[in-house]
Each structure stands twice: as structure tokens, then as C-alpha cells.
Amino acid sequence: MENIILIKFAQNLRTLIGDMSVSEFARKVDIPQQTISRYLLCQREISLTNLCKIADYFNEDIDFLIGRKD
């Protein structure tokens, strides 16, 4: 189940970032670019703090970001 959450989060994050560069997005949410890249590659689990930062930035529900809600 854990891998499914990582994959769904990466997919949703990629969609939300859209045409913005990873480095630009990382600056806007104050998360290191390398960390964002690892989230997108499903190489790192997201911390609750960073999940909240990203949810707040996009004004999205955390359950949506991790694929528990459409």
C-alpha cells in the first residue's frame, strides 16, 4: 500500500506543478529541490510538514494529494 501512495502522490504533484520547473516550485514551497525531485521519482516518503506545505500552496486536500480522494 505504501508504494501506491508514493506513486499516486508523485503523479498528483507532477500534475499540480504543471509547466513550473521543479526548482521554481521548490523555492516557492521552501523545500529543497532535490527533495521534490525524489518525491517525483518515488524515492522518498514525504514528511507531514512538507505535505502540509504543498497542500497549502495548491490549496488542496491532503487526501487528494496522496490519492485517497478524487
- Taking the C-alpha atoms of residue 70 and residue 25, their distance in angstroms, rounded to an integer, is 23
At 10 the pLDDT is 97
- pLDDT one digit per residue (tens) for the chain, 70 residues: 468 999 999 999 999 999 999 999 999 999 999 999 999 999 999 999 999 999 999 999 999 999 998 7
- Taking the C-alpha atoms of residue 60 and residue 41, their distance in angstroms, rounded to an integer, is 21
At 2 the pLDDT is 64
| Domains in the chain, CATH or no CATH each | 2-65 (1.10.260.40)
At 45 the pLDDT is 93
How many C-beta neighbours within 10 Å does residue 65 have?
A: 21
